[in-house]
A and B are shown apart, each in its own frame.
Chain A
């Protein structure tokens, strides 16, 4: 079974330390949800894991099955089995999702990409016509999110970091996406680290573990009941100012 290990991770962006000591262990097939208020460092954590230029890991370790990812460029982390569904997927004019994924999977598997794309699109109700558009160009916010999940399904990474995957999606779409991700956990043992601001994802996606991120640190971890408690009490109990950026 695969293992994603994050140890005492510190990361800064824009010259400010935003992630200040995060420890996580996600095994293949597990679903972990990191919840936190605005500005708690959720997106920075996601980009630190993927290796976005400009987000600097200042100390700590990120390992997939023992391979150290800190210091590796994003594409090598992807090849080590990590995937990031972006909160705001980037428009790449003129580049079809098919062309990008064919390049990503390499020549031997490229022939399978068109069929796999159609299957994955069908599984979450992503209009096949959108597969003929350039990446994220002329797509609504919700369509972009679905497009990320379609790509996740084709690439079959070991671990997926989902950054606010539910934002922009209506209830039915959140449900379809959650079903697809859950299926992936048994289909190929996908490990999931979902980062979210809202509780509503947890109504659809069954989490094994819930973590609370405040001020760049995980201040609490527990089972799904932790999310319910958060829904009642808010983040205030963890020292966060409600609504603070």
Chain B
């Protein structure tokens, strides 16, 4: 019997409109098929290996098992470490399994509201404004997200320091080995972080969102949804980092909309997880708006990274610029599939899409699928993609300076990532991202060596 029934959804509580929304979503979920690899949007993915019966939603209604204590200590340490890396921050929200457990607000915040859903008072209809519709996984989040992390930036407010959100997701038992048996429910934890970032007209803010969990083995399902909106003339810079354990499935949605003359920058970095999917839909909705999408992934072990992007143009004189870079090592693989869509009326659109993949080992594989769907004439669109091993000439060049091949390759791969990491829309995160990549690359080469 599924642990994702309507009763459990409604039991999460909240205001009446939210309980109704949960209940509706759970009802829809019950009759909706799970995604299939036959759908273009899920091609090349292992999605059919996902069985909801293997999971149960978190937080669970009763008390959580004692084994959570160790996991929470890891989470607290992780949040501390991240906070130390981002000392100049406007706010720090930490959630466990999607429920805020601490909110730190600095004086820099000014009129900006940050916290759980309660910071919006009695306001209704907070969700689904940017991400409408959706598949069974969206419904899962709609039904089972325990709260909503809210960043609400009023008109003309300008924040120079980032707002940091960390979602710590509890990992279950590993499929390898039995563990210490403290956890009685054989179902692995599923958690559903939900975030809404709204920028009023003429405002500006930076947001960092990290999805993390205990490193190493331990099963789990994490399905986050984040909705971003940038009002007219607003400037929103958003960076997401995923560092879950090696057996966790991460299936995320990021939906963003930019108003007239707004600039919206996103950066998603996928490093952890067994199957890591990040889908970013960015709608240039107002004339003159600009979206910049950046994505990076590094695959090791038998990971699958799956990045899907939509650059959607619905208004004249809009620009979108996408750069996605990934490397796959060992037996890992990656999929990049992106669509540029220019709707009727979106004249003088400029849209660019670039995907570069490094394949570091013979057992690794990368697919790159760029797509265009253009319904207007007066537009300029381009896409480029590459898939291949480390460039021979680059390696020779570094070797000719006296650098041994293995180190030359490491430098090139690290440079490949640096090239995109340095363009993080949230500059404060660059150091952290870089260290994460260095550490993972070092682990790969020590295993190979």
Residues of A within 8 A of B (CB): 50, 52-54, 73-75, 78-79, 83-84, 86, 89-95, 99-101, 103-105, 134-135, 151, 155
Contact = CB atoms under 8 A, between A and B. Distances in A.
Contacts of A105: 402
B394 interface: yes
Contacts of B417: 94
Given A93-B416, A93-B419, A134-B419, A100 B411 contact: yes
B414 interface: yes
Interface in B97-145: none
B379 to A, nearest CB: 28
Q: Please list the 7 inter-chain residue pairs (A to B) with the smallest Cβ-Cβ separation, ordered nearest first.
A: A94-B415, A78-B402, A95-B415, A94-B418, A94-B419, A90-B397, A74-B399
Nearest to A81: B402
Contacts of A99: 411, 415
B411 A95 contact: yes
Nearest to A93: B419
A54 B392 CA distance: 10
Contacts of A74: 396, 399-400
B12 to A, nearest CB: 44
Contact of B399 (A75, A95, A134): A75
A95 B405 contact: no
Nearest to B407: A103
Given A78-B402, A100-B403, A155-B402, A94 B397 contact: no
A103 B403 contact: yes
A75 B402 contact: yes
Given A75-B402, A90-B396, 20 more contacts: A53-B396, A54-B392, A74-B399, A78-B399, A78-B402, A78-B403, A79-B402, A86-B400, A90-B394, A90-B397, A91-B394, A92-B394, A92-B397, A92-B415, A93-B415, A95-B398, A95-B412, A99-B415, A103-B398, A155-B402
Contacts of B404: 75
Nearest to A99: B411
Contact of A104 (B392, B403, B412, B422): B403
Number of contact residues on B: which range applies?
A: 20 to 34
Given A95-B412, A99-B411, A75 B397 contact: no
Most buried by A among B399, B408, B416, B417: B399
Interface in B379-426: 391-394, 396-405, 407-408, 411-412, 414-419, 422
Contacts of B411: 92, 95, 99-100, 103
B415 A155 contact: no
A103 B415 CA distance: 13
A50 B402 contact: no
Contacts of A151: 401
Given A53-B392, A75-B404, A104-B403, A86 B397 contact: yes
A73 to B, nearest CB: 7
20 contacts: A52-B400, A53-B396, A73-B399, A75-B402, A78-B399, A78-B403, A83-B401, A86-B400, A90-B397, A92-B398, A94-B419, A99-B411, A99-B415, A100-B398, A101-B401, A104-B401, A104-B403, A134-B419, A151-B401, A155-B402
